[in-house]
Amino acid sequence: MSANAMLEPRITKVTINIGVGEGGRRLQLAEQVLELLTDLKPVRTLSTSTNRDLGTRVGGPIGCKVTIRNQEKIASFLKDAFWIRQNTLPAYNF
């Protein structure tokens, strides 16, 4: 432990999201993926503006997200996520 506790990183929550841009089958599949990854129920995210090019309307479902606040689940998820990346992050992430 270092002399200054504020120098130690502390993770209080992890948010995972998938944006699909539309409702329907693709959104249901995204929700299933998040549920398999985290064992938590995902929440749908809604569009805040209309975009004719993308075909979205205000209030329409366009994605889903999960927020993990349990420290044990955070540690487990990050361990699995970093294992996929060989426990390294590129320099441009910092």
Tokens encoding 54 = 């993308």
Q: Where are the domains of the chain?
A: 15-88
d(CA 45, CA 60): 8
d(CA 52, CA 22): 13
d(CA 11, CA 8): 10
d(CA 42, CA 33): 9
Q: What are phi and psi of 37, to 5 degrees?
A: -70, -35
| Residue pLDDT, tens place only, 66-82 | 999 999 999 999 999 99
What's the pTM?
Answer: 0.78
Pick the CATH number of 15-88 from 3.40.50.150, 3.30.70.260, 3.30.530.20, 3.30.1440.10: 3.30.1440.10
- What residues form DSSP beta bridges with 68? 14
Average pLDDT over residues 1-23: 88
| Residue pLDDT, tens place only, 37-77 | 999 999 999 988 888 887 788 888 999 999 999 999 999 99
